[in-house]
Amino acid sequence: MQPRFTLSADLQCSREPSGEAVAALERAVAEANDTLFVKGVPKGVPREEVGRITSWSVGGTTLHLVLESGGYTRAHDALFRFRKHLAGVLGKHQVGIREILVTRFAVVLTGDVPDSAIPRLPFIRSVERRSGTVTLDLAVSAADLEHRIPDRILNLVEEKIQAREYGGKTEHWELVYESGPKERVYQGNPTEEMEARHWIRHGASRGQWIYGPQAVQLFRAFQSIVEERILGPLGFSEMVFPKVDTWDVLSRSGHAKGVYPEIYYVCTPKTRDPAFWEDVSDHFKVTGEVPVDLVREKVDGPIGALCYAQCPSFWPFVQGRTLAQGTLPVRIFDRSGTSHRYESGGIHGIERVDEFHRIELVWLGTAAQTGEMAEQLHQVYRGVFEEVLELEWRSARVTPWFMAQEGMVGACGCETVGTTDYEAFLPYSGTWLEFQNVSVNGDKYPKGFNVKIQSGEPCWSGCSGIGLERWTAAFLAQKGFDPARWPEGVASRVGELKEIFRFL
């Protein structure tokens, strides 16, 4: 996809340039085309690929410019370079540049650009197709050009073309380790059996369960295994992360790029004045129904989302700061609350729910420290699944589509950026279930939240999400419901199952 840019702009001058000033202008244009715009362009790039002023004229106090370029010193970059240069040149003749009016900005794309790859944004005034080319006529101000809006639009087009090739949210999957088959002692669906035994019951909200004492005994057993075998030995300390993620957090974490179909939105009241809400209260008191439409009129926001990925809301703790050398790698975890995802039709048993419980590990340090920590985690996890839970499991390297798109794979010539999924076999369905992951996220979060380390090396981070529902589903699906047949390390931690509820 080769872009060509054409930009027409009117530069408003503080007064009409004199004959001498116009002569200086002429020299400035020639100099810009010959040297200023070519600066930094690699040798061998054809001249027509590089920005140049193709026409100019002065009418009264206005300087009309037309700039054209290919991919190098793009027309808009050339414009701002020229303005800076011009300020000095015209300043000598007591002429200032007041403002820039963009009268036309067109991008011509060559190659296969399907309609679906062109974003629907107010910046795109019209799209015109001729044989083999697409011309985007952009409605952009000088400020938009300074914010590199055209470049971002082109990146987006590129991303959409690639996303089509990925076919949605698919991941590239590559097996790392497989435990091999284990003895099959149970074939049932654990959610159904937990329900029948009154260990769990549907909550009032979609994809939500109320966990009874027995289910929580299992959760706590798993947590204590995680504490003893993973968090303790590897030196992770507990924190409490917020569970409402603002748009600022989601913007910096990158989730704002595409998380919208899967989040629970958070709203706040327009005011906490009871009088403002009295009609809502009264409506409920009289009808017994909450007037949802009326409520909708009285709330602000959404201000963000309920916790989705768990680690983003930690980052403001270190935002804008430099981590002291002796503290690295920083190792922390959070298990203080729920995560929420709108899984839509995908909801399934306790395996795929809208409200779930997860222990989230986060670590920060140099690239080497971050990769090393991921390796150590892989080792201790393997020990837990082999020796304690005795699961039939496997691990696989997956490349999330967004990372592939952002070119993060293999960044820094380093192979370690990416995610490893851990999956368990579910005998009742014959399928594999992802029950946790380990991700090395490179400098994505430190960059987004402006976090540095003392040595000046790039700061990297990683995270690992241990899903308690998924551990429970995997364990029960393989080991069944008879604690006598459970691995000792689990059975002893669960203890005797509590029968608190009996129903008539």
| Residues at the site binding ligand ATP, with contacts judged by CB under 6 A | 341, 343, 352-353, 356, 358, 434-437, 465, 467, 469-470
Which range in 14-22, 139-147, 277-285, 306-314 contacts Zn ion by CB under 5 A? Answer: 306-314
CB of 308 to ligand ATP, least distance (A): 8
CB of 415 to Zn ion, least distance (A): 20
Give whichever of 72 and 222 is closer to ligand ATP, judged by the CB atom: 222
Work out what residue 308 binds among ligand ATP, Zn ion, none; the CB cut-off runs from 5 to 8 Å by kind.
none
Q: Does 311 bind Zn ion (CB under 5 A)?
A: yes
Give whichever of 74 and 470 is closer to ligand ATP, judged by the CB atom: 470
Cα separation, 33 vs 51, in Å, equals 8
**Enzyme catalytic residues:** 311, 341, 343, 352, 360, 421, 434, 437, 463, 470
Give whichever of 50 and 459 is closer to Zn ion, judged by the CB atom: 459
Cα separation, 313 vs 6, in Å, equals 42
Residue matched to tokens 């669906």: 189
Work out what residue 463 binds among ligand ATP, Zn ion, none; the CB cut-off runs from 5 to 8 Å by kind.
Zn ion
Buried-state track 310-343, b at ≥16 Cβ within 10 A, e below 16: bbbbbbeebbeeebeeeebbbbbbbbeeebbbbb
Q: Does 106 bind Zn ion (CB under 5 A)?
A: no
Tell me phi and psi for residue 312, to 5 degrees. -55, -40
Q: Does 11 bind Zn ion (CB under 5 A)?
A: no
DSSP-assigned letter for residue 60: T
Which distant-in-sequence residues (6+ apart) come within 8 Å of 311 by Cβ? 241, 253, 334, 360, 362, 445, 463
Task: Determine the residue with CB nearest ligand ATP.
Answer: 467
Cα separation, 68 vs 6, in Å, equals 5
Cα separation, 489 vs 497, in Å, equals 15
Give whichever of 78 and 463 is closer to ligand ATP, judged by the CB atom: 463
Give whichever of 305 and 353 is closer to ligand ATP, judged by the CB atom: 353
Angle between helix 468-479 and 213-226 (nearest 10): 100
Which distant-in-sequence residues (6+ apart) come within 8 Å of 15 by Cβ? 61, 94, 95
Q: Which two tokens stand for residue 134?
A: 């697409």
CB of 439 to Zn ion, least distance (A): 6
Which range in 1-9, 308-316, 366-374, 391-399 contacts Zn ion by CB under 5 A? Answer: 308-316
Work out what residue 358 binds among Zn ion, ligand ATP, none; the CB cut-off runs from 5 to 8 Å by kind.
ligand ATP
Give whichever of 356 and 425 is closer to ligand ATP, judged by the CB atom: 356
Work out what residue 436 binds among ligand ATP, Zn ion, none; the CB cut-off runs from 5 to 8 Å by kind.
ligand ATP
Q: Which of 463, 468, 476, 494 binds Zn ion (CB under 5 A)?
A: 463
The C-alpha angle with vertex 94 and arms to 92 and 99, in degrees rounded to 5, equals: 110
> Site for Zn ion (CB under 5 A): how many residues?
2
Work out what residue 434 binds among ligand ATP, Zn ion, none; the CB cut-off runs from 5 to 8 Å by kind.
ligand ATP
CB of 358 to ligand ATP, least distance (A): 5
CB of 362 to Zn ion, least distance (A): 7
Q: Does 307 bind Zn ion (CB under 5 A)?
A: no
- 3-state secondary structure labels for all residues of 22-57: HHHHHHHHHHHHHHHCCCCCCCCCCHHHECEEEEEE
Work out what residue 341 binds among Zn ion, ligand ATP, none; the CB cut-off runs from 5 to 8 Å by kind.
ligand ATP
- For CA atoms 471, 436, 345, 343, the dihedral sign is positive
CB of 230 to ligand ATP, least distance (A): 15
CB of 280 to ligand ATP, least distance (A): 32
The C-alpha angle with vertex 141 and arms to 137 and 147, in degrees rounded to 5, equals: 100
> Residue 340: beta bridge partners?
355
**Binding residues vs Zn ion (CB under 5 A):** 311, 463
